[in-house]
Amino acid sequence: MVNPYIEAKLYKRQGDLSKRWYVEFGAWNPSENSVEKKKIYCPAKFKTEKQREVNATVPYYSKSTNSLRFIIVLFKS
C-alpha cells in the first residue's frame, strides 16, 4: 500500500529573491495516521531564481536504509 501524500510545491514569493522561498509538501505520519504538512525553506545563499529552483530539495525518511534522505524536486517553469 502506498501512503497518501501531498505533492511538493515551490513557493517563489512572486519571484522576489529578498523573501524566503520554500517548498511545501505533505508526508505520511504513521503515529498520527494522517498526512502532515511540511515546509522546507530554500537557502538564501542562492542568489538567482534559477539557482533556487535547481537546488530546492525535500527530505524524507527511508525505512529501508533507516535514514533521512533528500528528494530533488523538479518544477515546471
Domain ranges of the chain: 6-72
Q: 54-76 pLDDT, tens per residue?
A: 777 655 555 555 555 555 554 44
Q: Tell me, what's the pLDDT at 50?
A: 84
Q: Tell me, what's the pLDDT at 73?
A: 54
Its pTM stands at 0.63
Cα 71 to Cα 58: distance, rounded to the nearest angstrom: 5
Q: 10-59 pLDDT, tens per residue?
A: 899 988 999 988 888 887 888 888 888 888 888 888 888 888 877 776 55
Residue that is written with C-alpha cell 514569493 in the block: 13
For residue 19, what is its C-alpha cell? 523573501
Q: Tell me, what's the pLDDT at 1?
A: 61
